[in-house]
Amino acid sequence: MIHQYQLGGYNIVLDICSGAVHVVDELAYDVIARFQNESREAIVAALTEKYHENDEITPQEIEACYDQIKQLKAAGKLFTEDTFAPMAGDLKAKTSGVIKALCLHIAHTCNLNCSYCFASQGKYHGDRALMSFEVGKRALDFLIEHSGSRHNLEVDFFGGEPLMNFEVVKQLVAYARSIEEKYNKHFRFTLTTNGVLIDDDVIDFANREMSNVVLSLDGRKEVHDRYRVDYAGNGSWERIVPKFQKLVEAREGKNYYMRGTFTHANPDFLADIRTMLDLGFTELSMEPVVAAADDPAALTEADKAVVMEQYEKLAELMLERDKEGKPFTFYHYMIDLKGGPCIYKRISGCGSGTEYMAVTPWGDLYPCHQFVGDEKFKLGDIWHGVENHAIQDEFAGCNVYAREECRDCWARLYCSGGCAANAYHATGSVRGVYAQGCDLFRKRMECAIMVAVARELAAQ
Amino acid sequence: MKHINTIETRDLCESAKKGGCGECQTSCQSACKTSCGIANQACEKKESK
C-alpha cells in the first residue's frame, strides 16, 4: 500500500509497510499512481499524451521512470505487501504482563475550573481526594514488581492539579530514587500542571527530577481565559505565564511542552502557537478538544476545515523559522524517519490497560487516566493487582489490526489505531475509531512528513 | 534523469525481525494525554537502527 500527496511544493510518496518515503517529480508521481492497475504500455501511452508539450518527457523517459519504480518495488521500497497482520497479536503479547508506566492521580482536585476539562475539574466525576504517600509508595512498588526486565519506568504526576499535593510528589520521587539502584530501574518522572502553584521550590524540584514537564497554556490570553478560569471566574493567563517563563528558562534545555487545547472558540490555533513563540516558548503542543458533539466547545465540521488549513500553515511556519535560525518543535510534527519506533510499537499502540495504567488517589487501577471514574473499567488495585481480566483482555487485544477501519488506512502504522478512550466515547467500544480524530491525525502526519522531507533535503 | 529521491528511513519490515524491546516511552504519557499516535516516539534500542 502506498499513499501519495502533494504538499509544500513536494510530491511525496509513502510506502506504508516498509516505512519508505520518496520525493518524486511530477512524472514519477503519475507513473506511481497508475503502476499497480495499468500495463507498462498503457502508462507510457497515457503519459506520452499528457506530457506531449514537454520535450524532456519522451516515451523513453517514461519507460526509464517506470523501470526506476519497478526497481524500488523489487527492493521492498514501494508497494510493499502488508505481512504484519498475522503477527500483530503475537507482537503485542511479547510484553504481556509487564507494566512500565503509571499515571499517578496524585490529586483529584484542582484550583482551576476549566469547563472543557475531561476530568470534571479534576474530580473525575467523584469526590475530591489527594493521594497519600502510603498509596503512592505502594503504587511505585507495584510498578517495580510488575515491570519485568524493563529498565526505564515512567511515572506521570497527574491530576487534577498535582501541585496541590506537592509534598507527596516530592516524597514519592525521593522514595523512587532510593530504590532505583537496588532494582536496577530508572524512573522517568513527568509532571502535568496548570502552573498556578509554581514557585521557586517547584521550579528547582521539577528541573532536577522531572524528565519532562507539561505546562497547560492555550495560547492567546483571551482564548486561554475563556476556559481556564479559577472558581471566582477569573482567567489564569496573567498569573501563570510569568511562572512558566521562569520555569522554562531555568530548565536549561531539559524537556518541556507548552500544551494547549483548541476548541470551537479557536480553530485558528496557529495564532495561539504564535503567541507561545512570542512568549519565548519553543516546545509546543496544541491538541484538538475531545468533546461530545453537543458540547459548545466541540469542533464543528466548519471548524475542521479551518484546522486542516492551520496545520498546513503551521508546517510552513516551522520551515520559515528554520531558515531564520529560530526553530521550534510541535509535538505532533516530531517524526524521526531514520530512528522512529519499530513495528512492534507501531502495531501495539499506547499500551493502555496493559503496559500503562492509571492509579487513583485511593489505589484503584484503570486502563488509563481517561477511564478513571468509569467504574466498569476498574481493573483492580495496587494491592491485589489486576482482577478484572475481561476488561484487561479487551485492551490487550487492541492493536491496529484489531480495528476494521484501520486496516485500509494509510496512516495506521503512524497512528497504531488511535486512542482507546476516544474510540470508546465516540463508538461505545475501545476497538472502535474516533473518526474525527482520524481525519486530523492524517493531516498532521502529511504535514509532519513534509516538514521532515524539507529538512532532509535542505541538509542534503 | 533521476525521478525519485528516496529519503533514508527505518525499514519496518527489518524491525519486525529484531524490534520490540519494549523500552520505548508510553505514547500518551509524554505530552498529549488525549490522542494516541506513535510516529513521534523515539526508539530506545539504539543498536537496532
User: Of the candidates A23, A49, A81, which is a domain's last residue?
Assistant: A81
Pairing state between β A101-108 and A152-159: parallel
Provide, as residue numbers in chain B, all residues whose Cβ is less than 8 Å from the Cβ of A150.
22-23
Residue B48 contacts residue A423 (beta carbons within 8 Å): no
* DSSP designation for B26: P
User: Does A403 contact chain B (CB < 8 Å)?
Assistant: no
Pairwise pLDDT comparison (A46 vs B26), residue with the higher score: A46
A24 interfacial to chain B (CB closer than 8 Å): yes
Which chain B residues have a beta carbon less than 8 Å from that of A285?
A: 31-32
Question: Is A417 within the bounds of a domain?
Answer: yes
Shared-domain flag, residues A59 and A100: no
Cβ of B30 and A414 within 8 Å?
no
Q: Mean pLDDT throughout A156-162?
A: 94
Helices (H), A184-300: 200-209, 221-227, 237-251, 270-278
Q: Which of A57, A81, A105 is the last residue of a domain?
A: A81
Mean pLDDT of A280-285: 96
For chain B, say whether A422 makes contact (Cβ under 8 Å): yes
Cβ atoms of residues A315 and A444 within 8 Å = no
B47 CB within 8 Å of a chain A CB:
no
CB-based contact A210:A172 (threshold 8 Å): no
Q: What is the pLDDT of residue B48?
A: 42
Grid cell listed for A108: 483529584
Interface mutation vs chain A, best among B17, B18, B28, most A CBs within 10 Å: B28
In the predicted model, is pLDDT for residue A285 greater than 80?
yes
Instruction: From chain B, pick out residues whose CB is under 8 angstroms from the CB of A368.
Output: 28
> To which H or E segment does residue A420 belong?
helix A420-427
Model confidence at A118: pLDDT above 90: no
**Which bin fits A60, alpha (ψ -120 to 50), beta or left (φ > 0)?**
alpha
| Record: contact A416-B37, CB cut-off 8 A | yes
Same domain assignment for residues A39 and A102: no
Rounded distance, CA A281 to CA A255, Å? 12
Establish if A165 belongs to a structural domain.
yes
Give the residue-averaged pLDDT of A254-276: 96
CB A22 to CB B7 under 8 A? Answer: yes
- Do residues A231 and A367 both lie within one domain? yes
Asked if the C-beta of B35 comes within 8 angstroms of chain A's C-beta atoms, the answer is yes
**Residue A251 above 60 pLDDT?**
yes
For residue A91, what is its C-alpha cell? 507482537
Residues A146, A253 share a domain? yes
Question: How many A×B Cβ pairs under 8 Å?
Answer: 223
β-strand pairing of A21-24 with B4-7: antiparallel
- Do A208 and A74 lie in one domain? The reply is no
Q: Find the CB nearest A350 among B4, B28, B40.
A: B28
Reported pTM:
0.94
Read off the pLDDT of each residue in A235-240 and give the average, rounded to a whole number: 98
Instruction: Please check the confidence at residue B31 and state whether its pLDDT lies above 70.
Output: no
The C-alpha atoms of residue A455 and residue A262 are separated, in whole angstroms, by 27
B17 reaches A (C-beta below 8 A): no
Complex-level ipTM beyond the 0.95 threshold:
no
What is the maximum span of chain B, computed from C-alpha positions, in angstroms? Answer: 47
Residue B7 parent element (H or E): strand B4-7
- Most A-contacting residue of B25, B47, B48, B49 (CB-CB within 10 A), to test interface: B25
CA B47 to chain A, closest CA, distance in angstroms equals 10
> A345, A414, A438, A447: best mutation site toward chain B, by most B Cβ within 10 Å?
A345
pLDDT tops 90 at residue A317: yes
Helix or strand or coil: residue A449?
helix
Last residue of a domain, one of A81, A115, A134: A81
Q: Give the range among A79-93, A103-117, A164-178, A383-397 with minimum mean pLDDT.
A: A79-93
What residues pair up with A85 in beta bridges, in sequence order? none
Assess whether A328 and A237 both reside in one domain: yes
Is residue A427 one of the residues assigned to a domain?
yes
| Identity of the highest mean pLDDT range in A24-33, A118-127, A296-305 | A24-33
Q: Considering only CA atoms, which of A194, A196, A333 is closest in space to residue A270? A: A333
Asked if A307 and A267 touch (Cβ cutoff 8 Å), the reply is: yes
pLDDT of residue B30: 61
CB-closest option in A118, A337, A422 to B10: A337
Q: Is A76 on the interface with B (CB under 8 A)?
A: yes
Nearest by Cα to B45 from A193, A246, A342, A9: A342
Strand boundaries in A249-345, DSSP class E: 255-262, 283-288, 329-330
Query: Given pLDDT bands bounded at 50, 70 and 90, which one contains residue A226?
Result: very high
Q: Are residues A156 and A44 in the same domain?
A: no
| Whole-angstrom distance, CA of residue A294 vs CA of residue A169 | 37
Q: Which of A23, A335, A344 sits opposite B5 (nearest CB)?
A: A23
Residue A415 has pLDDT above 60, yes or no: yes
Residues A178, A113 share a domain: yes
Averaged over B30-42, what is the pLDDT? Answer: 71
- Whether residue B34 and residue A349 make contact (CB cut-off 8 A), yes or no, is no
Chain centroid, CA A419 distance in Å: 9
Question: Residue A343: which residues within 8 A CB-CB, separation 6 or more?
Answer: A84, A91, A413, B12, B13, B15, B16, B19, B20
The reply to whether A23 and A144 lie within a common domain is no
The reply to whether residue B6 touches residue A419, judged by beta carbons under 8 angstroms, is no
Considering the domain boundaries, does residue A391 fall inside one?
Answer: yes
How many angstroms separate the CA of residue A323 from the nearest CA in chain B? 21
Q: What is the mean pLDDT of chain A?
A: 94
CATH number, domain with residue A390:
3.20.20.70
Residue pair A343/A86 in contact by the 8 Å Cβ criterion? no
If pLDDT is split at 50, 70 and 90, which confidence band does B49 have?
very low
A91 neighbourhood in chain B, CB within 8 Å: 16, 20
Cα(A149)–Cα(A315) distance, integer angstroms: 40
The angle at the Cα of A350, spanning A345 to A353, to the nearest 5 degrees, equals 125
CB contact A163 to B (< 8 Å): no
Q: What DSSP designation does A80 have?
A: -
**Nearest partner of B35 among A43, A248, A350, judged by Cα:** A350
C-alpha cell at A211: 524528565
Residue A284 in domain? yes
List CB contacts (< 8 A) between A22 and chain B: 4-7
B46 pLDDT band, cuts 50/70/90, is low
Contact B5 A101 (CB under 8 A): no
Whether A220 and A357 share a structural domain: yes
Residues for chain B: how many in total?
Answer: 49
Q: Do A44 and A108 belong to one domain?
A: no
Classify residue A256: in a domain, yes or no. yes
Taking alpha carbons only, the member of A292, A347, A242 closest to residue A17 is A347
Q: How many angstroms separate the CA atoms of A93 and A396, rounded?
A: 8
Structurally, chain A folds into a number of domains equal to: 2
Phi, psi of A410 (to 5 degrees): -65, -25
For residue A283 the three cell numbers come to: 516546545
Q: What are phi and psi of A128, to 5 degrees?
A: -65, 140
Unique residue bearing C-alpha cell 476488561: A391
Ramachandran region, residue A414 (left: φ > 0; alpha: ψ -120 to 50; beta: rest) = alpha
Please indicate, yes or no, if residue A87 is contained in any of the structural domains.
Answer: no
- The answer to whether the Cβ–Cβ distance between A342 and B15 falls below 8 Å is yes
Out of A64, A76, A341, the one facing B41 most closely (by C-beta) is A341
Residue A289 lies in a domain: yes
Name the DSSP letter for residue B43: P
Percent of chain A exceeding pLDDT 90 equals 83
Q: Could you tell me the residue range of the domain that residue A23 belongs to?
A: 2-81
- Examine the domain organization and report whether A125 and A16 are in the same domain: no
Alpha-carbon span A452 to A133, nearest angstrom? 44
Is residue B18 over pLDDT 90?
no
Record the cell numbers describing residue A438, joined without a space: 482520524
**Residue A93 clears pLDDT 80, i.e. is over it:** no
Q: What is the pLDDT of residues A23-75, one digit of tens each?
A: 999 999 999 999 999 999 999 999 999 999 999 999 999 999 999 999 999 99
Percentage of chain B surpassing pLDDT 70?
73
Positive or negative torsion for Cα A328, A329, A334, A337: positive
How many Å lie between the alpha carbon of A50 and the closest alpha carbon of chain B? 17
Quick one: pLDDT at residue A222?
97
